[in-house]
Structure 1
């Protein structure tokens, strides 16, 4: 059974692609992006645990 580790990452609207590309380069997969009530965006990511 694959085990995962998870991360939550705040996203800056004008740099979303660059932030997600960097995390993707490190092996993280985007699971979901949520808009918080304050208007902030948060990305939820996962990757297999080594």
Structure 2
């Protein structure tokens, strides 16, 4: 059975692609993006990767 580790990261709207590309290069898979607590101007990404 696969076990997962999770990360929650804030996304800057002007650098979303670069941020997600970097986390993806480190083996993280994007699960979901939701509005952040500051409203529609901020986003929060939820990521997962298999535990090693």
TM-score grouping bracket, smaller chain normalisation: over 0.9
Count of aligned pairs = 50
Structure number with the higher strand fraction is 2
* Runs of 4+ deviating beyond 4 Å: none
| 1:30 Cα offset (Å) | 0.0
| 1:37 Cα offset (Å) | 4.5
1:1-20 equivalences in 2 (<5 Å) = 1-20=1-20
Structure 2: 5+ residue runs without aligned partners?
A: none
TM-score with structure 1 setting the length = 0.94
Aligned-partner Cα distance in 1 for 2:51–2:38: 32
TM-score with structure 2 setting the length = 0.91
Structure number with the higher helix fraction is 1
